[in-house]
Structure 1
Amino acid sequence: MASLAQAPASRWIQPNTANGSKIWGIRGGIGFSIWPNGVETGDKDDGGPRGLIRVGREVNGKFYLINFIAIEPIVDGRIEFSEISPSTVDDRWGKLFWTSDSQAADAYNPNLAKGVISHPDPAKPEVEQLTLYLFMEQFLHKANPYLKISIRSDRPDELCLEIFNKPNSAKMDRCALTATMGNYSRLRQLHLNDEVVDSRKLYNDYKGIDFIEKQSYPADKFLKTVDGSLIAIATPNESSAELASWPNTKAYADRAGWRYRVPIKLTQYWRKDAGNYDPSLELRVNGRAKYWAVASRDPNAYVDIPGGPAFENFELREKYSSGQKFYFGITTKSAEELLK
């Protein structure tokens, strides 16, 4: 956790043409970037998947990619996926994203916003917050959402994601924010208030190349933190050494991008403020037994996830309302520690 005694200039990570930074984040905590910029230290800007927020964490002075967050609006029961919905600019997969320091300045601009630092809590003047807006192309079904993204210095493990819509947007039934890459961290344990759901048991004997989905979990199954927040927690079932291990075959060498590179094990979670949620709120997960291979139908393009099926998409779903907030966290804390 970043010390509150640190100077603001050293606490925050912001895009900077002088030093080449293309990340928004906080020292020792969470950070994110957007296409074509990588979030991992040493990443080259090679394009990569569009239409995704790349979320990482700083560990021992280096940033590591941990997950992607996709935007999935539903209009009249029809869902679109920001990472595969075609761009109206070049018809390629993935909506174009851009950022702004102002909610009003929403015209496309490839230059990265710096983010605005404020003091959000008069009762805690030492607390700072980094905030910016993320805009995107309108979807084919005419949904036109945008996000306000912020990080607080007293909560360096999490992003606050608020969803809004432009005036020309079709009415959205729901606008899900989904963490799409749980397989990278081999998330296999879903912590609820009465059980820990194990993906290997839930998807027992599944060997296919597709996603598999069983059920969702209503809000009354969520755990609660000491302040009453509802929280859904996903963890690996392996040690950091086991996560870093990788089969010694050519097939796995060719897919080494899936190998876990972070030197520590991390917990991921979604959180909702106490009392600030709709009765429709639910947790949804799906799983995979094999690593994603860009929708190929050739079974030879896939390799098994070491250790068995893991959760891939991990999200909260809730009826849409303008300004609704979701918090996504990446932390060194265990599930038990998060509840204290």
Structure 2
Amino acid sequence: MNLTKFVKILFTLLTGAFLTAILSADVIGTKNGSKLSGKVVSIDGTHVVLDTDFAGEIKIKQSEVESITTDGPLNVRLASGTVLEGAIGASAAPGDVHIAGKDGGVNTTVDKLAMTWTPGAIDPAVAALQRKWAYEAAADITGKTGNSEQLGMALQFRATLASSFDTLQFYTAYERQVTDHEKSSDQFKAGLDYQNNFAGRYSWYVRDEGGFDRVKDIDLYNVAAAGVGYDILKTKVDTLTGRVGLAYRYENYGDPLAEDLDSVGLDIGLNNQLTMNNWSMTNRISYVPAFDDFANYRFYHESYIELPLKIGWWKLRIGVSNDYNSKPPAGYEKLDTTYFTRLVLNWK
């Protein structure tokens, strides 16, 4: 075989491979005339996600898509709820598509494609209903020597079982600090919180938290509550939920002369969760007044930002918390404020 013939054969093979790659790619046509090639990752009724060689995954507004052609089959849910498996092909009219299934084809429009997923994979609607566990553990140690001696530590753990319609959380935390050989913090808490989103933005919840605070002379406290919630703001990245319900509040003090608290009251809360690509922010507020004396209430606030670290599942949490008891035992401060920087390990 001479060199010229070899070059022709090689050129033919490379050209065929190139054309095969082009022909086997999924193609998205937009209303402005652009043609984008790649692999359709998903269609969700709002966006078409296309995995490309030149820019990775890109999101295209579905309202701007005029045609979709896929090389292989997809599971497609239409706006009516009908589910078909087949390749998507363009039709003659702009905005129309044809789904070619094993049992025949269906003509529809791009805006009627509500959801797609890979054949053999779990239906995203079913996956959203499945509860999944997520865990986090946080710790920090602080110290100081010199004009004053200080050593402190804090440990936290949270387990969350969540689905698209409900969330169950178990949590516990312990904090201890010694300043100039005197305890300045010694508190423990454990609790659970369940929220069920039964209708759109509306939810109901139950929660219970108990523990002790030896610096405030609280041998045992407990707050149990139940009520309803409403998502004041609810987007893919930001949720603000207000709560109101009835609570039972109990506090037992170490000082036998101090009157223990045992009363039904209100439970008012506000929870905010903002999640961006590289960081998240959490804000929690709880206000629990007693019916026996509305001037006797507990107010708790916590705000923190989490930043990812380039070491696996670790994050850095920076924040502040305020614990206010309007009527503490005699000789004790009403407000405790804690500033913290913690390492957080998240896993599923």
Task: Name the TM-score, length of structure 1 as normaliser.
Answer: 0.26
> More strand per residue: 1 or 2?
2
Decide which structure has the larger Cα Rg and report it. 2
Higher relative contact order (CA 8 A, sep 6+): 1
